[in-house]
Amino acid sequence: MSFIIPFIRLFFPVYGLVVLSFEEGRRHHKHNQFIIILFALLIAKEVIHKLMLDAFGVKIYFTNFIILYYLINFIPVIYINYLLILFISKAQKPPVMFFIYTLLILLSMVFFLITGQPFTFLIQIISRFLMILLMVYIMFRLNTLYLEDEMNIIIKNRLSINTILTILSIQYVFFFVTDNFVKNLIEIVLYGLLAIIIYTRVDEGYDELKNNIQHLGYEKEIFINLLQKVGSGLTSETNFDKILELILNYSVDVIKSKAAALLLVSPDKQYLSAKFVHGLYPPTEKVEGYAATKEKFLVEKFKNEKIAIGRTYLGEVAQKGEAILIEDAHENTNILQTAPDLMDIHSLIVVPLKFKDEVIGVVSFLNKDAGGEFNKYELQLSQTLAEQAAITLNNFRLYNELLVKQRDEREIEIAGDIQKDLLPKQLPQIPGVDLFAYNKSAKGVGGDYYDLLNFDNKRLSVIISDVAGKGVPASLVMVMLRTTLHNILRPHLPPKDILTYLNKFLSTESTQERYATLFYILLDVEKQTITYTNAGQCPLLLYKSQDNTFDLLDTPGLPLGIMRDQKYEQAERGMQKGDIILLYTDGITEAMNTKREQFSIERVKDIIRTNKEKSAQDIVSIIQSKMDEFCTGAPQHDDQTLILLRLV
Amino acid sequence: MEIKSVEKNGIIILDIEGEIDLYNAPRLKEVIKKNVETQKYNIIINLAKVSYIDSSGIGALISSLSNLKKYQGGLKLVKVMGSVKKVFELTKLTSFFEIFEEEEIAIKSFI
From A177, A202, A227, give the residue that closes a domain: A202
Taking CB atoms and an 8 Å cutoff, what residues of chain B touch A473? none
Q: 10 Å Cβ neighbour count for A462?
A: 24
Residues A377 and A412 grouped into a single domain = no
CATH number of the domain located at residue range(s) B2-110 in this protein: 3.30.750.24
Q: 10 Å Cβ neighbour count for A154?
A: 19
Q: What is the pLDDT of residue A236?
A: 39
**A414-463 tens-digit pLDDT:** 445 656 667 888 899 999 999 999 988 775 545 788 999 888 888 999 99
Percent helix / strand / coil, chain A, rounded to 5: 55, 15, 30
Whole-angstrom distance, CA of residue A112 vs CA of residue A106: 10
- Percentage of chain B exceeding pLDDT 70: 100
Q: Characterise A480 by phi-psi region: left (phi > 0), alpha (psi -120 to 50), beta (else).
A: alpha
From A155, A173, A202, give the residue that closes a domain: A202
Residues A179 and A311 grouped into a single domain = no
Whole-angstrom distance, CA of residue B72 vs CA of residue B28: 20
Contact check, Cβ <8 Å, A469/B56: yes
- Does residue A634 register a pLDDT over 70? yes
Name the residue facing B63 among A512, A559, A586 (closest C-beta). Answer: A512
Contact check, Cβ <8 Å, A468/B93: no
- Does residue A531 register a pLDDT over 90? yes
Residues A379 and A414 grouped into a single domain = no
Whole-angstrom distance, CA of residue A195 vs CA of residue A190: 9
Mean pLDDT throughout A215-238? 52
Q: A590 to chain B: nearest residue by CA?
A: B83
Structural Rg of chain B based on CA atoms: 13
Flag whether A396 is in a domain.
Answer: no
More confident residue, B16 or A234: B16
Q: A536 to chain B: nearest residue by CA?
A: B91
Residues A39 and A138 grouped into a single domain = yes
A positions 396-455 inside 8 Å of B (CB)? 444, 447
Q: What is the pLDDT of residue A127?
A: 65
Name the residue facing A558 among B54, B63, B92 (closest C-beta). Answer: B92
Q: Is A638 on the interface with B (CB under 8 A)?
A: yes
B positions 3-42 inside 8 Å of A (CB)? 22
Flag whether A594 is in a domain.
Answer: yes
Shortest distance, CA A435 to any CA of chain B (angstroms): 25
Query: How far, in whole angstroms, is CA A586 from its chain's centroid?
Result: 30
- Of A60-74, A344-358, A365-379, A593-607, where does mean pLDDT reach its minimum? A60-74
Q: Is B105 on the interface with A (CB under 8 A)?
A: no
Domain extents for chain B? 2-110
Residues A609 and A572 grouped into a single domain = yes
Flag whether A217 is in a domain.
Answer: no
**B21-76 tens-digit pLDDT:** 877 888 898 899 999 999 999 999 999 999 888 888 898 899 899 889 888 899 99
Q: What is the pLDDT of residue A364?
A: 93
Residues A63 and A167 grouped into a single domain = yes
Mean pLDDT throughout A242-260? 81
Residues A380 and A432 grouped into a single domain = no
Q: Is B51 on the interface with A (CB under 8 A)?
A: no
- Of A393-407, A439-453, A582-596, where does mean pLDDT reach its minimum? A393-407
- Percentage of chain A exceeding pLDDT 70: 57
Where is A219: in which H helix or E strand?
Answer: helix A206-236
Whole-angstrom distance, CA of residue A581 vs CA of residue A291: 68
Shortest distance, CA A517 to any CA of chain B (angstroms): 7
Contact residues for A581 (Cβ-Cβ < 8 A; gap 6+): A462, A521, A523, A530, A540, A541, A542, A543, A575, A644, A645, A646
Residues A247 and A367 grouped into a single domain = yes
Q: What is the ipTM of this complex?
A: 0.79
Report residue B1's pLDDT band, with 50, 70 and 90 as the boundaries. Answer: confident
Contact check, Cβ <8 Å, B91/A509: no
Taking CB atoms and an 8 Å cutoff, what residues of chain A touch B93? 536, 558-559, 562
Residues A176 and A266 grouped into a single domain = no
Domain harbouring A462, CATH code: 3.60.40.10
What is the extent of the structural domain holding A435?
405-647
Residues A364 and A434 grouped into a single domain = no
Whole-angstrom distance, CA of residue A115 vs CA of residue A117: 5
Contact residues for A48 (Cβ-Cβ < 8 A; gap 6+): A65, A68, A72
Number of domains in chain A: 3
Q: Is B70 on the interface with A (CB under 8 A)?
A: no
Flag whether A417 is in a domain.
Answer: yes
Flag whether A446 is in a domain.
Answer: yes
- Does residue A408 register a pLDDT over 70? no
Residues A186 and A289 grouped into a single domain = no
From A144, A177, A202, give the residue that closes a domain: A202
- Does residue A204 register a pLDDT over 50? no
The mean predicted confidence, pLDDT, of chain A is 74
Q: What is the pLDDT of residue A548?
A: 93
Residues A245 and A310 grouped into a single domain = yes
Flag whether A231 is in a domain.
Answer: no
Report residue A201's pLDDT band, with 50, 70 and 90 as the boundaries. Answer: very low
